[in-house]
Amino acid sequence: MSFFEEASETSRIGKSSLKNWVVNAFRERRALALTLNDTKTAVNKLHQMINVIVGIVIVVISLVILGIAKIKFFMLLGSQFLVVSFIFGNTAKTLFESIIFLFVIHPFDVGDRCEIDGVQLIVEEMNILTTLFLRAHDYQKVLYPNSVLATKSIGVGDSVEFHDCIQGSGRFEQADGGCMDEA
């Protein structure tokens, strides 16, 4: 496998091949840096949530060890937990689905091109609850919740064909020499 196509044919590296290689290397490095940054941010947020949960568990265990917590305390705590689960149950479900999607399924990284619902998108930023995309044809930002993305069919990489849009007016010639009117 050659880094430069021209080098295998002529034993020389052309200026355009070198330029293309440098541009591609820069793009891949930038995408990797953005992915690592977004992953670090998501892991830090997840770490904060786990710290809160562990803190609550430590407080409850210390109350039991010190003998302050009795049966009535746990009944009060259980009833409050039940109320909180009704209020925040759907949010907790969405958060759990988003974490599974982001860290376990992990279908794409920052900079990847993908197709969702027939729309060609470029991954701009990944967070725990949402993913920010750029539409490939007009670079408009589109925000998807990760819990919704987990239910959608996502085309990534070689399975997706991306076409460059060329805008213009007039007639286009076909390969056989005929003309095709612009639609």
How large is the average pLDDT for residues 67-83? 85
Average pLDDT in the chain: 78
Q: Quick one: CATH architecture of 40-159?
A: Roll (2.30)
Q: Tell me how many degrees the CA angle 52-54-59 measures, rounded to the nearest 5.
A: 95
CA gap 76, 78 in Å, rounded: 5
pTM given for the model: 0.57
Quick one: pLDDT band at residue 54, thresholds 50, 70, 90?
very high
Give 157's DSSP letter: G
Q: Residue 167: what are its φ and ψ, rounded to 5°?
A: -100, 140
Is there a contact between 97 and 144 (Cβ–Cβ < 8 Å)? no
Asked if the model's pLDDT at residue 167 lies above 70, the reply is: no
> Using CA atoms, how far apart are residues 112 and 122, in angstroms rounded to an integer?
6
The type of residue at 12 is R
Region at 6 (left for phi over 0; alpha for psi -120 to 50; beta for the rest): alpha
Please say whether the dihedral angle defined by the alpha carbons of residues 126, 131, 137 and 139, taken in this order, is positive or negative: negative
